[in-house]
Structure 1
Amino acid sequence: MSTSKKRARDRNPVGGHIRVAGGLATIGLPYTRDIGAEVVQVFVANPRGWATPRGVAAQDEKFRAACADQSIQAYVHAPYLINFGSHTAETAERSVDSLRHSLRRGRAIGAPGVVVHTGSATGGRARPKALAQVRERMLPLLDELHDDDPWLLLEPTAGQGSSLCSLVEDLGPYFDALDRHPKLGVCLDTCHVFAAGHDLAAPGGMKKTLDELVSVTGKERLKLIHANDSKDVAGAHKDRHENIGAGHIGADPFRELFRHPATKGVPLVIETPGGKEGHAADVARLKRLRDG
């Protein structure tokens, strides 16, 4: 590998969300190799359920050791059902248990961060009331984290329904509700932020969005990027991922993303269609944009 390409790889590892059903190590490690991933993201529980499985210690250790040996970071994505802004007490309580489980499992496999969706104000409740509940339920979980524990990474959504956080500016009140906690970071999904209304495909659109993110959250809060193109136009509020360069964002904005100072050292994880072959192609495409 040339010196310039090594510098580029060190700057932004590129990888994907990998399949691990059947074993983190048994299934996850071969999938990581097959798509050429330098960073991965995994579920440690059913993403559409409330179960909190203990995991298998031998699988955890083998997976963690292999990732360490190959300098691969492994992030955890918390289940989709989590919503700290829910008007339903049972959902709010289960959200606490589920996120605590993801953080604990993230610690077990050495994950630098755990991603959680920012949720919505359901039941017609006002945003300030929902954010007060976010503070009540989520801040204690942040306070439980030690320096060597995973970061909690907020992922804004595409702006459907009564979303609490979709536009970059929405991160301001969310961060304030959580006292801008030192273990709080951001996972920026390019499809989500595009669908929410930030036109990344417009000239300078990626730079403008990343500049605003730094202004709203502060420096070095961006810890992970979900690199996804979009099947729909900017502002459509539809969370429909497309392969890199095949959607309405296009490839060039990702080249611009790699060169923004806010993304220095920040890993990119794809969540695109197409199975293993599609994932391998998108990882390779992003590496070319990074290294070119």
Structure 2
Amino acid sequence: MASEPINPIGAHVPVAGGLATGGLRYAAEIGAEAVQVFVSNPRGWARAAGKPDEDQRLREYGEEHDLPVFVHAPYLINLGSPSPETIANSVASIRHALQRGAAIGARGVVVHTGSAVSQPREDAMRQLREHLRPLLDEIPDDGPDLLLEPMAGQGAMLCATVQDLGPYLDAVDRHPRAGVCLDTCHAFAAGHDLTAPGGVAEMLDALAETAGADRLKLIHANDSKDPCGSRKDRHENIGAGLIGAAPFAELFRHPVSRGVPLVIETPGRSAEPHRADVEALKKLRDG
């Protein structure tokens, strides 16, 4: 079995034609060493059953080729919402994503950390404990971790900077199955100046201190269309935005991110820009 790259670099891949049929074809086309997929409509509550043959093929391929596989849960999920209907759908969607992730051999399921919307933050955090803690307990030993993705800081977001991960993890008793997915565009928009000298190291040091060095399981590698502290979540291709290429090179040199897979979620409706982004990150990693 081939050894895993120091930091596998891949992408969120489209799965038209099937998780394995479409997803692995696209991964091969862009040279991805890791993949992230949706297992249901990312902008709806419908929860697809999946196709057992596609699930098995993806799981077996991932095991045979040391291909890290991740699931991104639907965007609508928000356990901080004041709406009981949103809470119920969020719980069901997280549970579904974790079950589907287990079926395809995923290492983690990424979920956005949510917003208090119109209610007090304290109430939203109590809801988080009430509903997320039991879901973490349900994860089997061989199931995927639940990866918390801090947001860009817009609105009443519960978690944006890496320091915000402390109270968030405290709300679920620092559960061992709660990991972190760090999005570089989100972090930059939330105020972490990755372009400043030592900015990347400062952010990752703070993540290790706040959340624990071993909780970082995935990095969404995205450049940003907007400046640091903008609180705007607009991704750009690697090196074409206001973060630039150099901070991504620093990611590969820090002990907290050593061995952590990176996947791009960059603009483009064809393989070409994604292939270029993957290649750019590989050059930064291997240079």
TM-score (structure 2 length as normaliser): 0.97
Partner of 2:26: 31
Moved more, 20-29 or 160-169: 20-29
In the TM superposition, residue 67 of structure 1 has moved relative to its aligned partner by 2.1
> Which residue matches 2:199?
205
Partner Cα distance (1:237, 1:261) in 2: 27
Q: CA deviation at 1:14?
A: 0.2
Q: Equivalents in 2 of 1:228, 1:168: separation in Å? A: 17
**Deviation (angstroms), 1:116:** 0.1
Is 1:112–2:107 an aligned residue pair?
Answer: yes
Corresponding residue of 2:47: 52
Distance 2:167 2:280 in 1: 36
Matched, 1:229 2:231: no
Taking the TM superposition and a 5 Å limit, the aligned residue runs for 1:150-165 are: 150-165=144-159
Instruction: Tell me the CA shift for residue 218 of structure 1.
Output: 1.2
Paired residue secondary structure (2:134): helix
The one of 84, 91, 114 aligned to 1:89: 84
1:236: how far off?
0.5
Pick aligned residue for 2:17 from 22, 30, 38: 22
Q: Aligned partners of 1:77 and 1:95: how far apart in 2?
A: 13
Distance across 2 between alignment mates of 1:21 and 1:96: 26
Residue 210 (structure 2) pairs with residue 216 (structure 1): yes
Matched residue SS, 1:10: coil
Instruction: Give the partner amino acid of 2:25.
Output: P
Q: CA deviation at 1:62?
A: 1.3
Distance 2:38 2:50 in 1: 11
| Counterpart secondary structure, 1:234 | coil
Alignment-mate amino acid for residue 282 of structure 1: D
Percentage identity across aligned positions?
Answer: 63
SS at match of 2:20: helix
Give the alignment of 1:269-288 within 5 angstroms: 269-274=263-268, 275-288=270-283
Summarize deviations over 1:251-280 as a string: whole Å, max 9, x none: 110111100000111000000012311110
User: Deviation of residue 69 (structure 1)?
Assistant: 2.1
Unaligned runs of 5+ residues in structure 1 are 1-5
One-letter identity of the residue aligned with 2:224: S
Q: Report deviation, 1:32.
A: 0.7
Matching residue's letter, 1:272: T
Distance 1:168 1:31 in 2: 32
Give the Cα separation in 1 of the matches to 2:49 and 2:213: 35
Aligned-partner Cα distance in 2 for 1:64–1:148: 13
Query: Per-residue deviation at 1:102?
Result: 0.2
Which residue identity is paired with 1:120? S
* Deviation per residue, 1:210-231 (Å, 9 max, x gap): 0000000012000000000000
Deviations 1:17-53 (CA, angstroms, capped at 9, x unpaired): 0000331122111101001000000000000000111
- The residue number in structure 2 matching 1:3 is none
- Taking the aligned partners of 1:69 and 1:115, their CA distance within structure 2 comes to 23
Question: What SS does the corresponding residue of 2:205 show, helix, strand or coil?
Answer: helix
Match of 2:173 among 174, 179, 185: 179
TM score, norm. by length of structure 1:
0.96
What letter corresponds to residue 269 of structure 1 in structure 2? V
* Counterpart position of 2:66: 71
Pairing partner for 2:97 from 95, 102, 105:
102
